[in-house]
Amino acid sequence: MLGEQFYKRVGKSRNTFLIFAIITILFYSGISFTFVIPGLKGFSLSSMALTLLMYFIAANIFVGLFKDRIWFVFTICIILNGLGMGWRLWLEWGEFSLVEHTSLAVYIGYPTVSAIIITIFYVIGNSIFGKKVNFS
């Protein structure tokens, strides 16, 4: 019941929820990438849990906005994660705290893994609520 009401509300104000999901992914990928990669300096389990929660919320918004468009959601997520990381690296270029995070594995791996996680949340939400809710 709660899921149906949420998706009806998403359907009524699509632009507002789309902007919220975009800003959530953009800012959380920029803010959190130095705190959520295990094994690197600055890792925090609470930051990782908060980031996963925000990605889960954004994925559920995408379920209400885009029905059965997995590749579109993945593409949007990888672009937004890359832009968020790029924004953070551009703002703090040369900072000593980012030295450990400036490797090709982090540049390519973090946006890809984050987009995969959001897409997995999207697929799970779509399989649970996709048939129950009318997305009109």
At CA 47, angle to CA 45 and CA 51, rounded to 5?
115
Q: Identify whether 92 is part of a domain.
A: yes
Instruction: Give 73-129 pLDDT, tens digit per residue.
Output: 999 999 999 999 888 878 777 666 666 667 777 788 889 999 999 999 999 988 887
Q: Identify whether 68 is part of a domain.
A: yes
User: Which residue segment(s) compose the domain that 37 sits in?
Assistant: 2-129
Q: Identify whether 6 is part of a domain.
A: yes
Q: Identify whether 86 is part of a domain.
A: yes
Alpha helices (runs of H) in the chain, residue ranges in sequence order = 2-12, 14-32, 45-65, 70-91, 104-129
Q: Identify whether 136 is part of a domain.
A: no
Alpha-carbon gap, residue 53 to 55, rounded angstroms: 5
The total domain count for the chain is: 1
Instruction: Give 31-49 pLDDT, tens digit per residue.
Output: 887 788 777 777 888 989 9
Q: Identify whether 134 is part of a domain.
A: no
Residue 38: count of CB within 10 angstroms of its CB: 7
pLDDT of residue 8: 84
Q: Identify whether 90 is part of a domain.
A: yes
Q: Identify whether 41 is part of a domain.
A: yes
69 within 8 A of 17, measured Cβ to Cβ: no
pTM for the structure as a whole = 0.87
